[in-house]
Structure 1
C-alpha cells in the first residue's frame, strides 16, 4: 500500500472511532437530561410541600407535644 492509502485508512479509522464516541456521549447526555428533568420536578414538588407545611403546620401530622406526658409515666 502506498503512504497516502495508509493515511486515508488511518483517517477513516479515526473518524469511525470519533463517530462512535459522539454517539455514546449523545446517549449519556440524553439520559442526564431526562434525570435533570425528573430531579427538577422532584425539587419543585418538595418546595411546594414545604410551602404548604409552612402555611399549615398541622398538615405535617405532628401533634403539639408540650402537654403530652413523657413515655416513662
Structure 2
C-alpha cells in the first residue's frame, strides 16, 4: 500500500508541476508580446523624433548671437 501512495503522491506532484509550467509559459508569452509591442512603439517614437528634429533643425546649426 505504501508504494501505491508514493506513486499517487508523485503523480499529484507531476500534475501540479505541469500546471505551474503552463502558467509560467502563459505569463512568459504575454510578457514577450508586451516587449515586442513596446519595441515597436519605441522605434516609432525614435523615428518621429528624428523626423521632427530634422524639421526644426539642430541648435548647433544656428549662428552664434551677435554679442560673441
Name the TM tier (shorter chain): 0.7 to 0.9
3-state DSSP of counterpart to 1:25:
helix
Provide runs of 4+ in structure 1 moved above 4 Å.
none
Equivalent residue number for residue 41 of structure 1: 40
TM-score, L = length of structure 1: 0.74
- SS for the counterpart of 2:35 is helix
Indicate the residue corresponding to 1:32 in structure 2.
Answer: 31
Q: CA RMSD in A?
A: 1.2
The secondary structure found in structure 2 opposite 1:56 is helix
Counterpart CA distance in 2 for 1:21 and 1:5 is 24
Residues paired across the two proteins, number: 57
Q: Does 1:53 align with 2:52?
A: yes
Please report how far the alpha carbon of residue 54 of structure 1 lies from its aligned counterpart in structure 2 after TM superposition: 1.2
Select the structure with the greater relative contact order (CA < 8 A; seq sep ≥ 6): 1
Q: After superposition, what is the alpha-carbon deviation per residue over 1:6-51, rounded to whole angstroms, capped at 9, x for unaligned?
A: 1100000000000000111111111111111100000000000111
